[in-house]
């Protein structure tokens, strides 16, 4: 989802397209593969507190709860329509999940609340300033030794991936995506005092290269 100061823009730019979001991701970005990998790298243990930041229609939120049923999983997003879809998906599989409406750079949670925070395809929607604010907020709500797990567009693995990513930039804007494609996210993580910062894996997709990161709030 896209979080901006002046106004809110859905992930596919127009609210009427939100209903097609799951289909678009499934067909174009190897969604199940990269989200399953993101979950498996997280070293989740029973009874942990987990936040899915920018949860959208809750595909990742549901995957987390399904694989780790004893954890408390909260999904947060800024688009009401996406949250309606998320809640309907949870009810369909009879899974109790809590969803909040809010912005990534102004989280409605107390400090040291979560063991793990997940973010899937959120950061490339944020301005540089809001990327910084979001990282500060995530750092605040994570417990010591807590981890942030991010899957987002990164430096292309080859020229073909760079060309394909132009479609994302035309849809989501060059201002918010330039830092991603230049490979600047890891530098921002370090500047936000996360340590260590590890890139776990990357996936080439129809829209460019997705990179998966594991970054830790020091004790």
**Of 124, 129, 170, 179, the residue nearest 2 (C-alpha):** 124
Spatial separation of the C-alpha atoms in residues 109 and 146, rounded to whole Å: 15
Which one is predicted more confidently, 142 or 29? 142
Structure tokens at 206: 């129809």
pLDDT digits (tens, 9 = 90+) for 17-62: 555 555 566 667 778 899 999 999 999 999 999 999 999 999 999 9
Domain extent, residue 10, equals 2-216
Most confident of 2-6, 22-26, 76-80, 164-168: 164-168
DSSP 34: H
Number of domains in the chain: 1
CATH number of the domain within which 54 lies: 3.40.50.150
| pLDDT score for 4 | 38
Which one is predicted more confidently, 118 or 43? 118
Q: Name the pairing type of β-strands 8-9 and 142-153.
A: unpaired
| pLDDT score for 30 | 78
CB count within 10 Å of CB 141 equals: 21
């Amino acid at each position: 989802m896209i979080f901006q100061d002046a106004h809110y823009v859905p992930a596919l730019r127009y609210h009427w397209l939100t209903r097609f979001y799951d289909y678009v991701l499934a067909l174009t970005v190897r969604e199940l593969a990269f989200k399953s990998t993101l979950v498996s790298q997280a070293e989740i243990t029973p009874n942990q507190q987990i936040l899915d930041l920018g949860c959208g229609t809750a595909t990742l939120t549901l995957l987390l709860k399904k694989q780790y049923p004893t954890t408390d999983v909260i999904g947060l997003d800024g688009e009401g329509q996406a949250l309606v879809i998320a809640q309907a998906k949870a009810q369909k599989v009879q899974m109790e999940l809590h969803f909040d409406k809010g912005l990534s750079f102004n989280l409605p949670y107390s400090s040291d609340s979560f063991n793990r925070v997940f973010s899937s395809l959120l950061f490339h929607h944020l301005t540089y300033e809001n990327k910084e604010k979001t990282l500060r907020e995530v750092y605040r709500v994570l417990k010591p030794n807590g981890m942030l797990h991010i899957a987002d567009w990164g430096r292309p693995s080859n020229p073909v991936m760079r060309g394909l990513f132009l479609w994302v930039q035309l849809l989501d804007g060059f201002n918010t995506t330039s830092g991603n494609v230049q490979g600047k996210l890891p530098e921002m993580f370090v500047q936000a005092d996360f340590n260590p910062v590890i890139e776990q894996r990357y996936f080439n997709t129809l829209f460019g290269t997705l990179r998966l990161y594991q970054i830790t709030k020091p004790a």
